[in-house]
Amino acid sequence: MFSKACEYGIKATLFIALQSLQDQRVNLKDIAKEINSPVAFTAKILQQLAKNNIVDSVKGPTGGFQIEKKRIDKIRLSEIVSAIDGDAIYKGCGLGLKECNANKPCPLHNKFAIIRDDLKEMLEGTSLYELATGLEVGLTFLKR
Amino acid sequence: MFSKACEYGIKATLFIALQSLQDQRVNLKDIAKEINSPVAFTAKILQQLAKNNIVDSVKGPTGGFQIEKKRIDKIRLSEIVSAIDGDAIYKGCGLGLKECNANKPCPLHNKFAIIRDDLKEMLEGTSLYELATGLEVGLTFLKR
DNA sequence: TTTATATCGGACAAATTTATCCGAAATAAA
DNA sequence: TTTATTTCGGATAAATTTGTCCGATATAAA
């Protein structure tokens, strides 16, 4: 469904959000440990997230990653997914046709569009905040 | 969503179903041309489909691929998908956790499970026959 | 000012997926 | 029986994704 990079990206962003809610900045090593991901690869993904203004990065000692508190309930999962995986998952044809729409649909078009649109709405309707709170109270988990 | 192999597999199977409804057996070259796929790679996928008894193969001149007419409305898309991509798409965690269930869910578990289950039901509820008929009357397309 | 620590960014490597090639095996038809 | 045609199956190659390494840059603190 999502690429590995995107999975790491979502998990990393959620952990950063969780820590930012408690005014804590977190560094690469701690993020990778928390989400059980390869450190160097995670660094690349965090760079992408920073470039896309999804997270803020600070260099130097005591540096790391954070998200402005005010923005945590504004940022949607969809932003992370399109920053890393692009929007093929929202717009693309289930059978990979370049051109596939109501006018010239693939055999799966109608049935697939429903699922795809539900996924899109789910991602667009889900904020970092609501997912981070589940982590905060120990109801949900980022590894295992 | 699906791998390229799976996309080709679905399209190839639908074309074979369409031709089988008209008592026509089709060969690799014609399939690849019809679904606009690389010939040799398509051959590999057809082998997999044959091994999984989704399509029948016949060697030699006049040989090719076909599906028993009676089975065309029995075979579901889900069979093709799990034969080629496995069942990660039905069972897997959206964030890639090894263990993710109601007991120990990832932050996305509840919302993701809905989408995933809808996809599963869609694929399990869709037969080759209903998709092939759309192709037959020129309502849907396998390329472009 | 120096040092230590953190991200940034580019080159490189490994693994996986996608794709090709070709001889072997089967088989229909000449 | 021979020939031509088709799928089968294994080896190989190309492309993409995943993952590593390391010097450059920024910066907090001694």
Per the domain annotation, does B41 fall within a domain? yes
Q: What's residue A109's pLDDT?
A: 98
Residue A3 pLDDT? 98
- Residue A10 CB contacts under 8 Å (≥ 6 apart), including other chains: A2, A77, A80, A81, B95, B108
Considering the domain boundaries, does residue B144 fall inside one? Answer: no
Q: What is the pLDDT of residue B103?
A: 95
Could you say which residues of chain A have pLDDT below 70?
none
Q: Which residues of A touch B119 (CB under 8 A)?
A: 115
Q: So what's the pLDDT on residue A66?
A: 98
Q: Does A5 touch chain B (CB under 8 A)?
A: no
Residue A144, in any domain of the structure: no
ipTM of the complex: 0.94
What's the structural domain count of chain A? 1
Model pTM above 0.90: yes
CA A37 from chain center: how many Å? 15
What is the model's pLDDT at position A9? 98
H-run or E-run covering A10: helix A4-21
- Within a domain: A141: no
> Using the CA of A4, which nucleotide's C1' is the nearest one?
D18
Angle at A18 between CA A16 and CA A20, to 5 degrees: 65
Asked whether residue B87 is assigned to any structural domain, the reply reads: yes
**pLDDT score of A65:** 98
Average pLDDT value for residue range B18-47: 98
CATH of residue A113's domain is 1.10.10.10
The residue segments making up the domain with residue A43 are 4-136
Q: How far is B47 from chain A (nearest CA, A)?
A: 20
Q: Mean pLDDT, to the nearest integer, of B79-94? A: 96
Per-residue pLDDT, A98: 96
Radius of gyration of chain B (CA): 17
